[in-house]
Amino acid sequence: MSVVVDDDVTGFVWSVPDVAVVARLIAVVLLGQAQHAARIIAALEPAAPAFLHAVLIADAKRQMVIRGDDEEARQAHRAHRDGFLFECMSWIAARQNAVDRTFLKDPHIDATSHGLDGLIVELHPTDPVIQRATICEDKCTVRPRRLFREQVMTTFAEHHSNKRARDLVANAAAIIRETGLDGTEAIVAAATVLEASVRSYRAALTTTVLTQAKRASLFSGYVDLDGITQAQRIGAMFEIDGDLRDWFQALADKVLASLDELDAELDAAGV
């Protein structure tokens, strides 16, 4: 739902009404089937994978289990895993609000992957022209203000000054090719992402339950991305009333349960 932040930032608070449904969708993404998950969301179909294979399920399970030789390594792995889960949640939220000509970068399959967290490209209803491109940064953290100030804004500032132009154009072109354009046509269309008039930024952060004043404090400094409007600076918050790591462990457990169910389906089919 939309919430007030301040005159510089457009705010949203995310909620998860059914954790089991989200976990099932994440399980499908983990199997390397994000495009099929997008279809499930758009068509409100049952959250079943397009196909099953024991190797895919085993790999997906390993990604959800905390590993490490010592506590420091385990904590680092947990942070990466929870970051992946939150990136998937961010992608699901974007897909739920997508229209026919909205195209998204798929979530990272590897929890330790780096690079652009997310990119949402909205095309003209008929022409291969970008009407809006939203650069996304997702941070699953107990220190949202610190990460917004030190990491999110650093990344956004680099994009705003086109210091990451090649990566942005390449990702946009890859997304636009889903429309059927060939590589050259997609690259030409993708060049529009370099124009500030079509570009938006979305910072998604895990937080405690915040007042309006605390939301404004959280996103203080967003206005440093100058030359754009309030609507182009988006602050999304997933508010957790409790322990962050406990909440994401419960989500990971449900993802594992979904994968176990899929494993059982394979066994029943004798595959």
pTM of the model: 0.94
CA angle 173, 238, 4 (to 5 degrees): 95
Q: pLDDT tens string for the chain (271 positions)?
A: 999 999 999 999 999 999 999 999 999 999 999 999 998 998 877 788 999 999 999 999 999 999 999 999 999 999 999 999 999 999 999 999 888 899 999 998 765 556 788 999 999 998 888 999 999 999 999 999 999 999 999 999 999 999 999 999 999 999 999 888 888 999 999 999 999 999 999 999 999 999 999 999 999 999 999 999 999 999 999 999 999 999 999 999 999 999 999 999 888 876 5
Q: Are strands 130-139 and 2-4 parallel, antiparallel or unpaired?
A: unpaired
Is-contact 46 39, C-beta < 8 A?
no
One-character DSSP codes across 95-120: HHT--TTEEEPPPPSSTT--S--EEE
Is-contact 178 119, C-beta < 8 A?
no
Is-contact 13 1, C-beta < 8 A?
yes
57 Cβ contact list (under 8 Å, min separation 6): 31, 259, 262, 263, 266
Model pLDDT, residue 271 = 57
Model pLDDT, residue 114 = 64
Is-contact 116 104, C-beta < 8 A?
no
Cα dihedral 93, 96, 101, 106 sign: positive
Q: How many domains does the chain have?
A: 1
Amino acid at 61: K
One-character DSSP codes across the chain: -EEE--SS-EEEEE--S-HHHHHHHHHHHHTT-HHHHHHHHHHT-----S---HHHHHHHHHHHS---SSHHHHHHHHHHHHHHHHHHHHHHHHHHT--TTEEEPPPPSSTT--S--EEEEEE-SSSS-EEEEEEEEEE--S-HHHHIIIIIHHHHHHHHTTTTHHHHHHHHHHHHGGGT--HHHHHHHHGGGG-GGGEEEEEEEEE----HHHHHHHTTTGGGS-SS-GGGEEEEEEE-SS-HHHHHHHHHHHHHHHHHHHHHHHHHHT-
Q: 14: which 2 tokens?
A: 């995310």
- Show the domain range for 190: 2-269
